[in-house]
Amino acid sequence: MRREAFARFAGERTLIAIPHLSFPGIGHMQHVGAGFAWVPIPYTNRAPASDAPFADPRKNGDKP
């Protein structure tokens, strides 16, 4: 049953969310030889803009 599900997911490139995998835990299955591989979505940690109000404690009312 798992093999059939993986084959369908890989064939349709179904987006899958698996919370017990490493972050981000979202991706798709890919055919690799006689098996399958997990391919996570690309993720880049984006830092907030330096001029964002929450980036500077003096601008959002917090005490430094």
DSSP string, 11-55: HHT--EE-TTSSTT-EEEEEEETTEEEEEEPP---PPPPTTSGGG
Residues spanned by the domain of 21: 1-40
In a domain, 52, yes or no: no
Flag whether 18 is in a domain.
Answer: yes
On whether residue 31 sits in a domain, the answer given is yes
- Domain presence at residue 32: yes
Report if residue 55 sits inside a domain: no
Chain segment 7-41, per-residue pLDDT in tens: 999 999 999 998 888 787 899 999 999 999 999 98
Inside any domain, residue 28: yes
pLDDT, position 51:
58
More confident residue, 53 or 47: 47
In a domain, 56, yes or no: no
Does any domain span residue 62?
no
Number of independent structural domains in the chain:
1
